[in-house]
Amino acid sequence: MNKLLDGQNILVTGGTGSLGQALVRRIFEGGYGEPERVLVFSRDEAKQHDMRTAFQRKDRATDDLIYRDHSSRLRFRIGDVRSQADLARAIDGIDMIIHAAALKQVPSCEYFPEQAIDTNCLGAINLVEALRSRPNKVQVVVGLSTDKACQPTNVMGMTKALQERILVAANLVSEGTRFVAVRYGNIVASRGSVIPLFLEQIRSGNPVTLTSEKMTRFLMPSSSAVETIFEAIKNARAGEIVVRTAPSVRMTHVVKALLRGRPIPIRITGIRPGEKLHETLITHEEAERTVRMGEFIFLAPMLPEFLDRRPQTDLTRLQTELSSNSDVLDFDETVSLMKAWQVDRWETEPA
Angle at 155 between CA 152 and CA 159, to 5 degrees: 80
Residue 285, burial from CB neighbour count under 10 angstroms (0-12, 13-18, 19+): exposed
Q: Are 194 and 249 in contact (CB under 8 A)?
A: no
Q: CA dist 74 to 48, 91, 315, Å?
A: 11, 15, 43
Q: Which residue in the list 3, 47, 137, 148 is annotated as catalytic?
A: 148
148 is catalytic: yes
Cα distance between residue 102 and residue 116, in whole Å: 8
Cα distance between residue 276 and residue 305, in whole Å: 33
Cα distance between residue 45 and residue 34, in whole Å: 26
Q: Which amino acid is at 100?
A: A
**Strand 248-250, strand 216-220: pairing:** antiparallel
Torsion sign over Cα 66, 72, 78, 80: negative
Q: Are 13 and 97 in contact (CB under 8 A)?
A: yes
Torsion of CA 198, 18, 105, 121, to 10 degrees: -160
Closest CA to 71 of 59, 60, 57, 61: 57
The residues assigned a catalytic role are 148
